[in-house]
C-alpha cells in the first residue's frame, strides 16, 4: 500500500491505483470541474492543476473530459503520475487539502461530450439467451456471430449521466398473439448491464485502427445501462436493427477508469473458434475481469462476469473502423449486455425473467418481470488492482418515471 498524507481505507474502491476521472459541481454552483475520486473525497483537478501551475491545467477547464481525452496517452500518463505524486508526497498536503471535496457534497455530471455511440452484442451467453427468447424457432446464434462482433450505431445525444430519471418510452408494439400493433407506454421496459469504452485519440478517415493500436486511442472504461423497451424492439427491429427501443436513454457511470488502472484486470477471454480474420486477432490480452453487480430497488439481482465476454474491446474497435470509419474524441462504444453462464449472471430482465415468463421474486417479496414506474436500477463493478486492492467503478443509477 502506497503511503499517503490522506486517510485512505485499505478497501476503498478509489485508492491510489485507481484515480478515475469525472466531472462534478458543488452545491448550487454552475461551474463544472474535472475531479478524481480518492477515498471519500474528490480531488478538484481543475483547481489543483491551476494551483500547482501544471502544464496540463488548460486541458481541465472546459467542464468535460474531452480536451484531456484528445491529448493522448503521454499526457494521460503525465496527469496520472502528477496526481499520484500530489497525493503521496507530504510537501503537497497543505497546498492541495483545500482542493479535496467530500464525495457526499458533489453532484456528478456526464463526464464526456459523447461524439458517436455504438453498442455491440458480444456476450455469447447473452446472445444465446436472447436468441432462445426472441427466436425460439431459429438457430441459436446468428451465422455471423462468431465471425464478427455484431453492433449497431446508437444515439449519442441521449447518453445521460448516472442519476438522470428515465422516462418510460411510448411506442408501437405488437404482442405475438395480437393481429395488429398498438401504441402506448412500453410494458416491457428493461435494462442492459454493459461496459463502455471511451475513445480519446481520433483516427483518420479511410484508415482502420488495428487491435494493436487499441491503447493508443482508448482512454478508459465506464459502466453503461442500455435501457431497452423489449416490446417496441420486438416489433420494430427487423430488418434494420434496434431504433427507438434503445435510443431514449443510455446511462453511464460518473467516473472513467483509465486503462492504466486496469493492468491487473486484464485476462485472455474465452478461446475463439473459428479463428477470427487477421484484423480481429489480438496478441495482447484485452479481456477484463470486472465483477459487475446489478441491483433493483437495492436488491442484488445479478452478478455478470465481464471476463466471459467473447469479443474484447480491442477487437470491437478494430471491427468498428475496419471499413475506414474514423474515430472522434468522445466516441463511446459499449460491450453489449454482459451475461455469464449461470442464471444469476444474466445482465437483463429479459433473461432474468426468461421473456417475462418466470417473474423474479425480490427479497422484500415484490415480484418483477420488467421494470415498473419508480423502480431504481444500480449497476456497479470492481476489478482487481495491485496487492489485493480493488479498483471501483462508480455506480450507474437510474429511476424509471412514468411518461
- Over the window 4 to 43, marking each residue x when it contacts ligand LGMQ2O6W by CB under 6 A and - when it does not, the resulting string is ----------------------------------------
- Active-site residue flag, 126: yes
Contact 188, 152 (CB under 8 A): no
Q: Is 280 exposed, middle or buried (0-12, 13-18, 19+ CB in 10 A)?
A: buried
Closest CA to 196 of 131, 67, 292, 283: 292
Comparing CB distances to Mg ion, the nearer of 111 and 154 is 154
Q: 143: which 3 cell numbers?
A: 451465422
Residues 74-133 within binding reach of ligand LGMQ2O6W (CB under 6 A): 119, 121, 126, 130-131
Query: Toward ligand LGMQ2O6W, which CB reaches closer, 196 or 392?
Result: 196
Cell numbers for 295, please give them. 441491483
Q: Is the peptide bond before 239 cis (omega within 30 degrees of 0)?
A: yes
Whether 338 and 123 have beta carbons less than 8 Å apart is answered as yes
Binding residue for Ca ion (CB under 5 A) from 44, 116, 124, 226? 226
Positive or negative, the CA dihedral 293, 16, 19, 98 is positive
What is the nearest approach in angstroms of ligand LGMQ2O6W to the Cβ of residue 54? 39
Q: What residues are paired with 393 via a beta bridge? A: 381
Interaction partner, residue 354 (ligand LGMQ2O6W, Ca ion, Mg ion, none; CB < 5-8 Å by kind): none
Q: Whose CA is closest to 383, among 285, 294, 290, 312?
A: 290
Among residues 44, 124, 192, 395, which is the contact residue for Ca ion, using CB under 5 A?
192
Q: Which 239-268 residues touch ligand LGMQ2O6W, going by CB under 6 A?
A: 242
Q: Is 217 in the site for ligand LGMQ2O6W (CB under 6 A)?
A: no
Please name which of 296, 300, 304, 308 lies closest in space to residue 382, comparing C-alpha atoms.
304
User: Can residue 119 be called a binding residue for Ca ion (CB under 5 A)?
Assistant: yes
Q: In a 3-state reduction of DSSP, which class is residue 50? A: helix
Cell reading at 402 = 412514468
Please identify, using beta-carbon distances, which residue of 226 and 395 lies nearer to Ca ion: 226
Alpha carbon 81 to its chain's center: 24
Report the chain's C-alpha Rg in angstroms. Answer: 21
From the candidates 41, 109, 126, 319, give the one annotated as an active-site residue: 126
Residue 121, contacted partner among Mg ion, ligand LGMQ2O6W, Ca ion, none, CB below 5-8 A by kind: ligand LGMQ2O6W
Per CB under 5 A, the segment of 126-134, 189-197, 211-219, 302-310 that binds Ca ion is: 189-197
Site string for ligand LGMQ2O6W, 333-362 (x = CB under 6 A): ---xx-------------------------
Q: Which does 398 bind (CB under 5 to 8 A by kind): Mg ion, Ca ion, ligand LGMQ2O6W, none?
A: none
Residue 400 DSSP code: E
Q: Which of 99, 246, 266, 397 binds Mg ion (CB under 5 A)?
A: 246
Query: Which runs of consecutive H residues, i.e. helices, occur in 154-244?
Result: 214-217, 230-236
> How far is Cα 357 from Cα 360, in angstroms, rounded to an integer?
10
Q: Which is nearer to ligand LGMQ2O6W, 91 or 176 (CB)?
A: 176
Helix (H) or strand (E) holding 383: strand 376-384
Closer CB to ligand LGMQ2O6W, residue 245 or residue 256?
245
Q: Is 226 in the site for Mg ion (CB under 5 A)?
A: yes
Give catalytic residue positions: 126
Residue numbers at the binding site for ligand LGMQ2O6W (CB under 6 A): 119, 121, 126, 130-131, 134, 192, 194, 226, 228, 242, 336-337
Residue numbers at the binding site for Mg ion (CB under 5 A): 154, 226, 246, 250
Amino acid at each position: 500500500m502506497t503511503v499517503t498524507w490522506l486517510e485512505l481505507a485499505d478497501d476503498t474502491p478509489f485508492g491510489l491505483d485507481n484515480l478515475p476521472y469525472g466531472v462534478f459541481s458543488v452545491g448550487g454552483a454552475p461551474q463544472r470541474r474535472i475531479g478524481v475520486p480518492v477515498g471519500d473525497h474528490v480531488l478538484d483537478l481543475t483547481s489543483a492543476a491551476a494551483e500547482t501551475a501544471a502544464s496540463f491545467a488548460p486541458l481541465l477547464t472546459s467542464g468535460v473530459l474531452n480536451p484531456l481525452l484528445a491529448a493522448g496517452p503521454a499526457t494521460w500518463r503525465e496527469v496520472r503520475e502528477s496526481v499520484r505524486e500530489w497525493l503521496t508526497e507530504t510537501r503537497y498536503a497543505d497546498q492541495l487539502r483545500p482542493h479535496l471535496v467530500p464525495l457526499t457534497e458533489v453532484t456528478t455530471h456526464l463526464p464526456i461530450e459523447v461524439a458517436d455511440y455504438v453498442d455491440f452484442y458480444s456476450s455469447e451467453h447473452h446472445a444465446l439467451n436472447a436468441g432462445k427468447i426472441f427466436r425460439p424457432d431459429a438457430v441459436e446464434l446468428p451465422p455471423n456471430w462468431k465471425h464478427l462482433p455484431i453492433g449497431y450505431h446508437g444515439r449519442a445525444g441521449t447518453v445521460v449521466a448516472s442519476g438522470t430519471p428515465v422516462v418510460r418510452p411510448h411506442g408501437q408494439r405488437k404482442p405475438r398473439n395480437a393481429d395488429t400493433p398498438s401504441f402506448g407506454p412500453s410494458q416491457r421496459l428493461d435494462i442492459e448491464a454493459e461496459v463502455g469504452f471511451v475513445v480519446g485519440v481520433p483516427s483518420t478517415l479511410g484508415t482502420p485502427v488495428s487491435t494493436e493500436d487499441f491503447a493508443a486511442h482508448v482512454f478508459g472504461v465506464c459502466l453503461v445501462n442500455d435501457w431497452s423497451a423489449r416490446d417496441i424492439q420486438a416489433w420494430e427491429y427487423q430488418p434494420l436493427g434496434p431504433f427507438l427501443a434503445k435510443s431514449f436513454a443510455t446511462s453511464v457511470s460518473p467516473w472513467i477508469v483509465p486503462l492504466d488502472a486496469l493492468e491487473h484486470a486484464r485476462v485472455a477471454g474465452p478461446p475463439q473458434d473459428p479463428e477470427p480474420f487477421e484484423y480481429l486477432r489480438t496478441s495482447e490480452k484485452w479481456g477484463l475481469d470486472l465483477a459487475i453487480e446489478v441491483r433493483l430497488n437495492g436488491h442484488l439481482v445479478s452478478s455478470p462476469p465481464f471476463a466471459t465476454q467473447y469479443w474484447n474491446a480491442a477487437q470491437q474497435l478494430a471491427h468498428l473502423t475496419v471499413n475506414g470509419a474514423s474515430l472522434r474524441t468522445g466516441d463511446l462504444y459499449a460491450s453489449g449486455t454482459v451475461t455469464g453462464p449461470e442464471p444469476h449472471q444474466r445482465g437483463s430482465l429479459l433473461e432474468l425473467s426468461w421473456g417475462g415468463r418466470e417473474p423474479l421474486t425480490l427479497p422484500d417479496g415484490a415480484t418483477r418481470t420488467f421494470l415498473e414506474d419508480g423502480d431504481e436500477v444500480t449497476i456497479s463493478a470492481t476489478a482487481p488492482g495491485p496487492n489485493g486492492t480493488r479498483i471501483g467503478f462508480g455506480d450507474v443509477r437510474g429511476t424509471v418515471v412514468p411518461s
